[in-house]
Amino acid sequence: DADVTQTPRNRITKTGKRIMLECSQTKGHDRMYWYRQDPGLGLQLIYYSFDVKDINKGEISDGYSVSRQAQAKFSLSLESAIPNQTALYFCATSDRSRTDTQYFGPGTRLTVL
């Protein structure tokens, strides 16, 4: 089984809808991250969390919110989706004792019409 899982893998929605993307991990890591990937732009950090009570904004947090429900779960929400949020979204984890490596989930492809 994969160590970092994301659901759904694909989602098509309409402008103005609320969307939640979920990430779960079995690696026992305390740190979790959400990125978006756009063609030609690489990956950009949206939010990151050091533990359940420590959540921080990344480079592009506007229009997004997150929830760290447990050490193993980190959800990303789009409160009112807009077309320029169409992208590939990745969750990643790292361990505080080995912060130099991040482990990525398979990604969620989101399309906002």
Partner 1 sequence: GNSVTQMEGPVTLSEEAFLTINCTYTATGYPSLFWYVQYPGEGLQLLLKATKADDKGSNKGFEATYRKETTSFHLEKGSVQVSDSAVYFCALSGFSGNQFYFGTGTSLTVIP
Binding site for partner 1 (CB under 8 A): 4, 31, 33, 40-45, 48, 50, 56, 58, 90, 92, 94, 99-107
Cα distance from N-terminal residue to C-terminal residue, the chain: 33
Beta carbons of 76 and 46 less than 8 angstroms apart: yes
Query: CA of 2: how far to CAs of 6, 16, 62, 87, in Å?
Result: 10, 32, 30, 22
**Shortest spacing between CB 18 and partner 1, in angstroms:** 25
The nearer residue to partner 1, 33 or 74, going by C-beta atoms, is 33
CB-CB neighbours of 24 under 10 Å: 20
Least distance to partner 1, CB of residue 96, Å: 9
| Residue with smaller CB distance to partner 1, 19 or 105 | 105
Query: In terms of CB distance, is 33 or 64 closer to partner 1?
Result: 33
